[in-house]
Amino acid sequence: MYGLIGKMLAQPGQRDALLAILLDNQHAMPGCLSYIVARDPASEDGIWITEVWTDQASHQASLQLPHVQAMISQARPIIAGFGERYETEPLGGFGLKA
């Protein structure tokens, strides 16, 4: 499996709008086992996204899906930047199926 944990930063005062885009545009993505969007309690503008995929190729392919491209286009103007990014190798856990 392939995991990705990343921090996204919204433009000041735009976190809720960015969260709405990320949450409203969730559609099935082949190979995606888990996609979690969370507020960063330590940052007014921070968002954490945690993803688990069957493999890295599925994650890369998802970036070309039309609904993902539309979400990126919609979100881009209110994204201020990105923070930490970690790649992981999930082994399993509650809610995950290998």
The Cα 87–Cα 23 span in angstroms is 22
What is the pTM (predicted TM-score) of this model?
0.89
Specify if 94 maps to a domain: no
Task: Centre a 10 Å sphere on the Cβ of residue 17 and count the other Cβ atoms it contains.
Answer: 15
Give a yes or no: residue 95 inside a domain: no
Structure tokens at 33: 């086992």
Q: What is the pLDDT of residues 51-63, one digit of tens each?
A: 999 999 999 999 9
Span 70-92, pLDDT tens digits: 999 999 999 999 999 999 999 98
Q: Is 97 a member of any domain? A: no
Number of domains forming the structure of the chain: 1
CATH for 6: 3.30.70.100
Q: Is 53 exposed, middle or buried (0-12, 13-18, 19+ CB in 10 A)?
A: buried
Please report the pLDDT score of residue 98 as a whole number: 55
**Is residue 45 included in any domain, yes or no?**
yes
57 is a domain residue:
yes
Give the structural domain span for 23.
2-88
